[in-house]
Amino acid sequence: MRSPVPLTRTLLGLGTVLCALLALLAGPPAAQAAGYTKITGSGSTWSSNAVEQWRRNIGANIGLTVNFNANGSSQGREQFKNGTVDFAVSEIPYGLTDGGATDVPPSRGYAYMPIVAGGTAFMYNLRIGGRQVTNLRLSGPVLAKIFTGRLTMWNAPEIKADNPGLALPARRIVPVVRSDGSGTTAQFTTWLAKEHGGDWNDHCRRAGRSTPCGMTSYFPVVPGTTTVAKSGSLGVSAHVRQPQGEGAITYVEYSYAVNAHFPVVKVLNRSGYYVEPTAQAVAVALLQARINTDRSSPDYLTQILDGVYRSGDNRSYPLSSYSYMVVPTSQTAPHTTEKGRSLGTFARYFLCEGQQQAEELGYSPLPKNLVQAGFDQVRRIPGAPTGAVDLSSCRNPTFSSDGSNTLARNAPRPKPCDQRGARQCADGTGGAKGVATPVADSGDTAGGSATGGAPGGSGGAG
């Protein structure tokens, strides 16, 4: 079951797809009228809300059928390698060692194509006096201790220090992790390994894993703890949002919290500000991403995020990244020229016109260099349209005439009450932006009334 996308978002894409396709799709009208061969993909739930919307848009406008099974990055990569799908979507490349096992690359030709950026968010269900908390703030060390079982109560002193305006309840923390092989888990555990290695290695030892633990697609669970494991982004987010899920917290792509009308944690960045993973905050953070630009490398276009985690810009969200589509570059079965035409047409749509919807869907649009690199990869797909693409016709929110990232350049500075200290903003976050949470401090809340929000604080509980 996939997360439903609101009708307004569907209409947003449908209104602009046709004009973009006229400019982007190669081949005469007669060829387009002849129809497209159906293509099938699988993989990332992190990216699936975007992929789902894009496939609906292109299907409604030109009759191209794209099926996508959001079964997790590990399954997607395995199915592409076995030749049972035409493309895969993943947040991590082949060839990495995970829990002592190496993810062997496919024998057929393949390439990584960037598709969308976003933030790995922490969606939670917490109430104070029956009222939903929508403005929770947490530092990196606290998040690490929560998901490694070292902090077990919401009123722990370390959590109180991050939230001076909240009278946190004496409620047990329930971390909710992925039970399946997950790119979201891989992204989160890469951050844990690089930024909080001591806590992470200790957790892995208690879970029976060898250390150093490093990145893993399968989150290790220590027996006897309150940690709950669920399959898929829908599974973990559904567990958190249920009424009996009070006290739970999970990691998902930002779009899931937005669709569920639930808040996300503002995470402390290196500049001492608590920031949520908005499209702009992600765009700022990814200015510090290192990208493999070696065209001869099997990992061409993959990302190194150390600089993102440690960005000194006070607008940046630390757990920002982007996702890849694994596409075929050889005629090896199941690929055919006809499927290449369909896959290339789909990619040319979402790399350009589809990026306009990224923010509305809870993601961040790709910057110009990755869009251009993506089109270069499309041309490597046998049978894909080969016509030149005029990037000036791509109304991507990151593009500018001088080559700078417009979305990042225009990102607002955080409010004074988002700085670490005695004050705390009352504003809601994620899918509960319109629901403020009363704060006890006397400082300037800069944008959130101490008494604002829906009566009883139930708005956005969804």
b (16+ CB within 10 A) / e for 399-434: beeeeebbbbeebeebbebbbbeebbbbbbbbbbbe
Average pLDDT across the chain, whole number = 89
137-138 sheet: strands from edge to edge: 137-138, 266-268, 274-275
Q: What are the pLDDT digits (tens) for 380-393? A: 999 999 888 889 88
Q: Residue 189 is which amino acid?
A: T
Confidence of residue 34 (pLDDT cuts 50, 70, 90): low
Give, for 131, the enclosing helix (H) or strand (E).
strand 131-132
- 3-state SS, residue 24: helix
Q: Residue 451 pLDDT > 80, yes or no?
A: no
Confidence of residue 144 (pLDDT cuts 50, 70, 90): very high
Q: What are the pLDDT digits (tens) for 324-354? A: 999 999 999 999 999 999 999 999 999 999 9
**Contact criterion met (CB below 8 Å) for 181 and 73:** yes
Q: Which residue in 57, 88, 11 sits closest to 327, CA to CA?
A: 88
Q: Which residue in 283, 298, 182, 198 sits closest to 237, CA to CA?
A: 182
Q: Which residues make Cβ contacts (< 8 Å) with residue 113, sequence separation at least 6?
A: 301, 324, 325, 326, 327, 347, 351, 373, 374, 377, 378
